[in-house]
């Protein structure tokens, strides 16, 4: 059994850790408040893109690469894995890694697909690089992703797809629901799912210059950029929310451990006092 001094040392160390976790919770809560506000920023841009859909309805989009059906077998797939760049956020990253691993095995076994991954975040890269071949070093994910930072990711993805390096582009990430809940989703970005670009009613007569293909490609780049940017924003908000809950749970658990250690320290102190009194009484009796 540890003595009074050892328990006091452990309590002092645990108290310091608790103050750190409480501070990290407050910092993460501040980041979460900002990230929730940033989730609404792409809405005006998305509304404008939705307004451009009637133009696409008038184009011959069915034959374009971004709308063509992918091969059912031996498809070349680029999987964009979005995780956090730091830890201390509970099972936030594990859910994405687990879903990416499951989906990749399923595509390989059933379709014979060849997969490569583009990692946005160090945690996904560290866990999956041996299983899903990375095309390049992982991209750093900022605490608050910006549209400018997403350009490099969306441009590479679109260029590789249009060059024929990949037949499909998928993304797996967490979607922010609320502070307690993040949903792990995997969806196809390219080619567009059936119904994303579809004819609705009679198409207006339009003259497109210089060509239909260039217009579709330009709009597809914007849709892809919006999709990746939205995924990064949701992932960032979910990361901050997961870190808030993880640090809160850690703080609560540390308080409980401190209470238990205080009881053990008091018992050790009482046992030491009792032992000293016993020695004094025994010594007095021996002298008498």
Alpha-carbon separation of residue 120 from 7, 80, 86, 104, 156 (angstroms) = 44, 7, 12, 17, 13
Least confident of 19-28, 37-46, 165-174, 227-236: 37-46
21 found inside a domain? no
> Would 58 be classed as within a structural domain?
yes
CB atoms closer than 10 angstroms to residue 286: 7
Q: Minimum mean pLDDT among 50-59, 129-138, 165-174, 235-244: which range? A: 50-59
Total structural domains within the chain: 1
Do residues 193 and 66 lie in contact, with contact meaning Cβ atoms separated by under 8 Å? no
Residue 252 lies in a domain: no
Question: Is the confidence at residue 161, as pLDDT, over 80?
Answer: yes
Q: Span 192-218, mean pLDDT?
A: 61
Q: Which of 80, 1, 60, 12 is nearest to 262 (CA)?
A: 12
Q: What pLDDT, in 10s, does the model give residues 66-121?
A: 877 888 888 999 999 999 988 889 889 999 999 999 999 999 999 999 999 999 99
Query: What CATH number does the domain containing 168 carry?
Result: 3.40.1380.10
Q: Is the pLDDT of residue 199 over 70?
A: no
pLDDT tens-digit profile of 53-79?
666 655 656 677 887 788 888 899 999
- Tell me which residue of 112, 115, 132, 152 sits closest to 232, measured CA to CA: 152
SS3 33: helix
Strands (E), 19-75: none
Domain of 157? Answer: 27-195+203-245
What is the reported pLDDT for 200?
47
């Amino acid at each position: 059994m540890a003595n009074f001094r050892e328990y006091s040392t452990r309590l002092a160390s645990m108290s310091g850790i608790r103050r750190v976790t409480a501070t990290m919770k407050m910092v993460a809560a501040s980041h979460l408040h900002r990230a929730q506000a940033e989730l609404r920023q792409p809405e005006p841009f998305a509304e404008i893109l939705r307004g451009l859909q009637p133009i696409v309805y008038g184009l011959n989009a069915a034959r374009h690469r971004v709308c063509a059906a992918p091969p059912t077998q031996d498809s070349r797939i680029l999987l964009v894995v979005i995780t956090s760049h730091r830890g201390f956020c509970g099972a936030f990253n594990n859910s994405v890694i687990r879903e990416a691993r499951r989906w990749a095995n399923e595509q390989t076994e059933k379709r014979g697909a060849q997969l490569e991954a583009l990692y946005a975040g160090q945690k996904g890269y560290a866990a999956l690089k041996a299983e899903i071949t990375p095309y390049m070093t992982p991209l750093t994910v900022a605490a608050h992703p910006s549209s400018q930072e997403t350009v490099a990711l969306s441009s590479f993805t679109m260029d590789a797809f249009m060059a024929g390096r990949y037949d499909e582009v998928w993304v797996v990430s967490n979607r922010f629901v609320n502070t307690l809940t993040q949903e792990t989703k995997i969806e196809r970005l390219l080619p567009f799912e059936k119904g994303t670009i579809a004819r609705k009613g009679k198409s207006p007569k339009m003259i497109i210059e210089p060509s239909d293909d260039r217009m579709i490609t330009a709009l597809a780049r914007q849709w892809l950029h919006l999709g990746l940017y939205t995924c990064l924003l949701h992932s960032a908000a979910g990361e901050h929310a997961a870190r808030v809950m993880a640090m809160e749970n850690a703080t609560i658990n540390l308080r409980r451990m401190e209470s238990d250690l205080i009881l053990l320290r008091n018992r050790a102190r009482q046992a030491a006092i009792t032992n000293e009194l016993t020695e004094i009484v025994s010594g007095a009796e021996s002298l008498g």
